[in-house]
Chains A and B, each alone.
Chain A
Amino acid sequence: MLYLDHAATTPIRPQVWEEISALADRGWGNPTGFHASARAAKNALEEARERVAAVLGCRPLEVVFTGGGTESDNLAVKGAALAGGERGGVVTSAVEHEAVLSSARFLEDWGCTVTRVGVDRDGLVDPSEVAAAVTPDTAVVSVMAANNETGARQPVREITEAVRERTGCNVLVHTDAVQAFVSEELAVEDLGVDLLSLAAHKFGGPTGVGVLFVRDGVALEPVAHGGGQELGRRSGSHHVLGAVGMALAMELTAADRERFRRDVSEARRRFEEALSEQVPGLSVTSHSARTVQHSHLRFPGVANQTLLVRLDRLGLAASAGSSCQSGAAQVSHVLSAMGLSGSEARTSVRFSFGWTTQPSDGDLAAKLTIRALEGLL
């Protein structure tokens, strides 16, 4: 099988499995308890926090463990807006992940002002447009580092600077870096953001665990109320094994990035070049500024549903980029915001490469895709 749906989730790295398994018989305790098993778990958890902080270039207590990327986004956007007192406004982009957009919609229903900044044909926002949307009412600006469907990389640093220039440090800036982290250096100081979301399973870690970086001094209203874990920012018994697995996956990813970028971009180059020769009118979405791992392609006249079934039959896993709970392919808000028509969206397929990808996978992917297209072009 050739797995090219890494943007959806990734196979867990073997070392991560080993570390989690090794910890299973001594790290299962509840870190908040008053005994030996609690201490063992607490030590493992706090060590994991330090390791995550080291990778992100922040302080350990700025790391909040969550249940995943969606929860991190919810905590960032809702938490910031609800903690803003009179100021509850949100400025975001039209191409954010549903976790951010639905959180914003929820706040809007409760009376907060939400502005969704549009994007160009490549799916990029203009930083000055984002800054211009900020008003005295704005509590948080949320723009993703890389888009989950197209891989389009937003100029996060420029956005932060533009917002700061307009408002000082009054307004919080959040970025959803769930897709970007696997291939991009993301030191929070360089980006200048106050809040940053990550999900472990997008880079070889386990599902069900994520991180929200929360800059020291930033107040968030919790979205999950309870026992007050994570300094009251995220209640709920800790997923210690997950946190440890995530910390290791982040270290491995950071150490492996150079190789990752080289192999993945080579695989993608071979894949897209071979396809362009064979597929008339093939076009690459967000060509100008995308991550190395995303290959979001449009096959004119070919329904993505048909192509995906045929690819699956040949053992190649790809995606329509957006799917509902039942798994049916849907026309996404991302492509609509970029000005693609419904029929353009329905002929798009997302191939996403990852840490298991070898350069030769690009050749194989092209071969299988061309075979899957037989009779459809």
Chain B
Amino acid sequence: MRVLAAMSGGVDSSVAAAMMHEEGHEVTGVTLKLWQGPDGEAPTHGCCTVSDSEDARRVAAGLDIPYYVFDYTDDFASAVVDPFVESYRNGRTPNPCVECNRSIKFSILLEEAARLDCDLLVTGHYARVTREGGRWRLRRGVDQSKDQSYVLHMLGQEELARTRFPVGEMTKTETRRVAADLGLRNAHKRDSYEICFIADDYRRFIAQRAPEAVRPGRIVDASQNQVGEHRGVANFTVGQRRGLGVAVGEPRYVVELDPHTSTVVIGSARDLLTGAIEVEKVSWVDGAPPPQAQPECLVQLRVHGEPVGALIAPSDSRPDRWTATFLEPQRSAAPGQAAVFYRGDEVLGGGTIARLLR
């Protein structure tokens, strides 16, 4: 088959491309240029650096496959970075990887793969695509600690039919061993965890683009009594405990952010508990929600969060939203993060947390 391999320069996507090549597919490597500094230069650290694309280029050269850099900086700015900033402006905590997968990798790049007559798009994500009962399924990667199915929840049948994640079948240790066996130059390159387009501190990034999200404000308790001051709601995430600068007896958490008045509401662990959430931009891997009236499933609320039991149902108030009612109240739900629905290790679908229903 003809394969387009998205290569970031990291070990996972390099191994993914190399494995497809080893299997005898006709692989074309591509690095996405997604971000550049205000002066038009590539960043020197973080992602999209010249050295990252150089690593990808060298791996591709070692495999003797064609390699290109595709420039999607305009698309990335409008589909990922602008909403990221907007999210902080609204007191939410966004996940830009989700938006990038939704709008760039499994949208624009997948379309490009089709135009280039490629049968498959291959990336270095830790997740698995399987075919069961005539349908495509998305499952957690074999390496639970590296699993990335959470940020891929928006994939549907059409996308999965043309997507493969070769390293999803392996542990990270195995991936590195394969890389070393293949002699890939980046076999021991360290993992990246940062937001790819922010080289240093996300707060400074937000401050430059949405100054209103970093204007000083009050920290209040549940009864609206001021207990402190802060330097901007963008510095906080619902559920956050550290960095409140408020000394009170029992542990205090951020329970709510009001971007309009720049107010941070704090409370006890009990105040943080959420019985249900409202989820927007919901999509289903199978194309439609599970057939049961109110299916029980597992919901994952953070990138590395533990899945928790919930009943899901279409929202009463908003037809385009779904409600997840937890079997036990949860403390880790934050607006802007993804809520992903699982059955066992299978992704059913997911969306973005719009509202906490306490």
Contact residues of A with B, CB < 8 Å? 303, 305-306, 309-310, 312-313, 324-330, 342, 375-376
**Does A326 contact B66, Cβ atoms closer than 8 Å?**
no
Q: Give complex CA distance A179, B31 in Å.
A: 30
Q: Give complex CA distance A305, B112 in Å.
A: 9
Closest to B40 in A: A324
Residue B115 is within 8 A (CB to CB) of chain A in the complex: yes
Chain B residues whose C-beta falls within 8 Å of the C-beta of A310 in the assembled complex:
116
Q: List 29 A-B contacts (CB under 8 A).
A: A303-B112, A303-B115, A305-B68, A305-B70, A305-B71, A305-B112, A306-B115, A309-B28, A309-B116, A310-B116, A312-B66, A313-B66, A324-B42, A325-B42, A325-B50, A326-B31, A326-B33, A326-B42, A326-B50, A326-B53, A326-B69, A328-B69, A328-B70, A328-B71, A330-B71, A342-B74, A375-B115, A375-B117, A376-B115
Q: Give complex CA distance A329, B33 in Å.
A: 10
Interface size on B, residues (CB 8 A): 17
Chain A residues whose C-beta falls within 8 Å of the C-beta of B115 in the assembled complex:
303, 306, 375-376
**Interface contact tally, CB-CB below 8 A:** 40
A361 to chain B, nearest CB (A): 22
Closest to A325 in B: B50
Q: How would residues 84 to 127 of chain B score, 1 for a CB under 8 Å from any chain A CB and 0 otherwise?
A: 00000000000000000000000000001001110000000000
Q: Give complex CA distance A376, B111 in Å.
A: 12
Known: A326-B69, A329-B71. A306 touches B116 (CB 8 A): yes
Q: Give complex CA distance A376, B115 in Å.
A: 7
Closest to A330 in B: B71
Q: Give complex CA distance A94, B318 in Å.
A: 53
B157 to chain A, nearest CB (A): 23
A348 to chain B, nearest CB (A): 14
Q: Give complex CA distance A303, B70 in Å.
A: 11
Q: Give complex CA distance A313, B42 in Å.
A: 27
Most A-side CB within 10 Å, residue of B70, B112, B116? B70
Q: Give complex CA distance A342, B78 in Å.
A: 15
Contact of A328 among B33, B112, B116, B117 (CB under 8 A): B33
Q: How would residues 169 to 206 of chain B score, 1 for a CB under 8 Å from any chain A CB and 0 otherwise?
A: 00000000000000000000000000000000000000
Q: Give complex CA distance A375, B117 in Å.
A: 10
Q: How would residues 28 to 70 of chain B score, 1 for a CB under 8 Å from any chain A CB and 0 otherwise?
A: 1001010000001010000000100100000000000010111
B346 to chain A, nearest CB (A): 35
Most A-side CB within 10 Å, residue of B28, B50, B71, B117? B71
**Does A309 contact B68, Cβ atoms closer than 8 Å?**
yes
Q: Give complex CA distance A327, B112 in Å.
A: 17
Q: Give complex CA distance A303, B112 in Å.
A: 10
Chain B residues whose C-beta falls within 8 Å of the C-beta of A375 in the assembled complex:
115, 117
Q: Give complex CA distance A305, B31 in Å.
A: 13
Q: Give complex CA distance A305, B71 in Å.
A: 9
Chain A residues whose C-beta falls within 8 Å of the C-beta of B117 in the assembled complex:
375
Given A305-B70, A324-B40, A327-B68, 16 more pairs with CB closer than 8 A: A303-B112, A303-B115, A305-B112, A306-B115, A306-B116, A309-B28, A309-B68, A324-B42, A326-B31, A326-B33, A326-B42, A326-B53, A328-B33, A328-B70, A342-B74, A375-B115
